Amino acid sequence: MKDEILYSALQNWEKLSATPEEYQAYESRVKRILDEEAARREAELEVQEAEQRGEKIGAQKEKKATARRLLAKGMEVKDIAEVTGLDEDRVIEIQREIN
């Protein structure tokens, strides 16, 4: 519920009007709902993190592919590193892979 005052009033009313068994069932139901909501939020976070990791991997693959193309055209390692944002050592590794 979005209205906290109404939610609090409803909780108090349910507590006062319930038998111990009904109250226990109510508490169990609330816990289940909160657990389900927390699990849903956790799943959403995991999806977002996976998407971010995928984007990062894709960007790295694109940088590597660009470096390969530039190396094939004879561009200097230093310039390729500057253009792609890769370390010079990484560009040299890519160059070794090509040769």
pLDDT for residue 41:
97
Please report the pLDDT score of residue 71 as a whole number.
95
Query: Which phi and psi (to 5°) does residue 86 adopt?
Result: -80, 155
Q: Is the pTM of this model over 0.75?
A: no
Distance CA 35, CA 29 (A): 10
Residues of the chain with pLDDT under 50: 1
> What per-residue confidence (pLDDT) applies to 45?
97
Q: Give the separation between CA 33 and CA 58, rounded to whole angstroms.
A: 37
Residue 2 pLDDT = 64
What Rg do the C-alpha atoms of the chain give, in angstroms?
28
- pLDDT, position 26: 84
